[in-house]
Amino acid sequence: MEFDKDLQSIQEIRNLVANAKAAQAEYAEYTQEQMDKICLAVTRACEQNLEKLAKMANEETGYGVWQDKVLKNKLGSTMTYESFKDMKCVGILKEDKEKKLIEVGVPMGVVAALIPSTNPTSTVMYKSLICLKSGNAIIISPHPGALNCILETYKIIAQAAKSAGAPDKIVQCVSIPTMQGTDALLKHRDIGIILATGGEAMVRAAYSSGNPALGVGPGNGPSFIEKSADIPKAIQRIFDSKTFDNGTICASEQSIVTERCIQDQVVAEAKRQGGYFLSPEESEKVGRFIMRANGTMNPKIVGRSAQAIADMAGISIPAGTKVLISPQTTVGKDNPYSREKLCPILAFYVEDSWQDACKRSIEILFNEGKGHTMTIHSQDESVIREFALKKPVSRLLVNCPGALGGVGAATSLAPALTLGCGAVGGSATSNNVGPMDLINIRRVAYGICELADLRAASPVAAHSTGSGTVAHTYSYNSDAPGEAARAATYTREDVENITRAVLARLSRQ
């Protein structure tokens, strides 16, 4: 019975959390060197199964292209490990002898890791590695639509970690995924932090659970082609991104915005490279498949090829079409082309100037995807800097494919499959989430002065003189701490000068 499955799922969660708490208490005693050895072993095990797990994910979900999922798995394992292998996350991180401060990295404990169906195996690798690097236990909560490939990835990681000396149960996975079980996991009092990667509803649930959470919002990044851009290169990068794993990475471009003066060149180049511009009638037919009646993305289009989507919509497109492009003039919740589309569909906007393109990009982002990612193709540094100053995104990607740039494969950003959207996007971080986001920092602060020193350096309440000028009684020890201070009446300017001198002196202690 379904009721029994819910109860079994909740009980499984309780057992997993209890096991994880005990394992993490043991793991927290490990040195960074021991943890690094375990991370390396897990990375090597993942490397040996990149293709196998990519094919499993593709077969089970029907999303994307398995060859591209191999690269995603490499990003989640090898590239992630290489990015943090020399990083210090636990123990003493920093010691400032002059200021008498010590910083200690402290794991957050048990991490609840929600895994999406779009990037299932790669996200398990990535989240497991950043948890193990930072001294945490992880409980993997799989999307039901990708359960088998996620479980297989978990087993490979757990075995590798244990063989390298990690405590048993430091990596675990839910085997009976239900909404009730997920709710119990998110709200369990022994969860240290939630890593939420998935749909908007799931992310909101994580933030309302009562536990700390790092979640991400939807992507809906426009890509602006400015008049100074290398247009063939810009189109190539956009299409490379939008067709990579059939557009299932949330940092992939969702719209092209360009200037009217180069419109014809952009259109011609897009057609030359495999873009098909939909007629108004064809746009209407395809548009019906993009969103469901409840306003959310239709899972039937996610990770599907342009040809598969055209077939569903009942339209005919040229053989070899890579991306479907729909000319648009409006932005809104009721316009599916102006929203996130995790497949090879792009909206196409033409504006009179780069300033108008800037406004259009902001409009698109505030419609959906604010705080996430956008791309710009330009050789004009002044325009790029204006976009950097004005756009409500956490990642402005310049002259690169959005999907691969956002996750750190084609840029110097940290490799990550959880991309923070910052406060504007309702996220607790704007980072590409990594190990340092999964620790607290304990600060050890030695005393640098006594109460008498602080009193000696502080202005006493101001009082008015008979002449109407403001005078200040100020005690200042001009010799050494602890001796009796001299009291005198000073002007405001005198007080400010003395205060600066005292603060400078204290900062040198």
- Strand ranges inside 295-362, DSSP E: 323-327, 345-351
| Eight-class DSSP state of 76 | I
Residues 6+ apart with CB under 8 A from 333: 295, 339, 367, 368
Locus of tokens 């236990």: 137
Helix (H) or strand (E) holding 46: helix 32-47
Q: Amino acid identity of 338?
A: S
- Angle among Cα 306, 311, 316 to the nearest 5 degrees reads 85
* Complete DSSP assignment for 141-187: EE-GGGHHHHHHHHHHHHHHHHHTTPPTTSEEE-SS--HHHHHHHHH
250 among known catalytic residues: yes
Tokens of 330: 């409006």
Task: Report the number of secondary-structure helices (H) and strands (E) in the chain.
Answer: 18, 18
Q: Which of 46, 173, 250, 358 is catalytic?
A: 250
- Strands of 337-450, DSSP E: 345-351, 371-377, 393-398, 439-445
Helices (H), 259-330: 263-272, 280-290, 306-313
Answer whether 326's CB lies under 8 Å from 267's CB: no
Q: List own/partner pairs for 317-324 with CB under 8 A and 24 or more apart.
A: 317/276, 318/276, 320/274, 321/274, 321/275, 321/276, 322/239, 322/242, 322/243, 322/273, 322/274, 322/275, 323/239, 323/242, 323/243, 323/270, 323/274, 323/275, 323/276, 324/275, 324/276, 324/278, 324/286
Report helix, strand or coil for 113.
strand
Side by side, the strands of the sheet bearing 439-445 are 91-96, 101-107, 439-445
Q: Which residue has the tokens 């400010």?
A: 496
DSSP 434: -
Q: Which helix (H) or strand (E) holds 275?
A: strand 275-277
Residue the block writes with tokens 């007080």: 495
CA distance 284 to 35: 54
Tokens at 249, concatenated: 């990475």
The residues that are catalytic are: 250
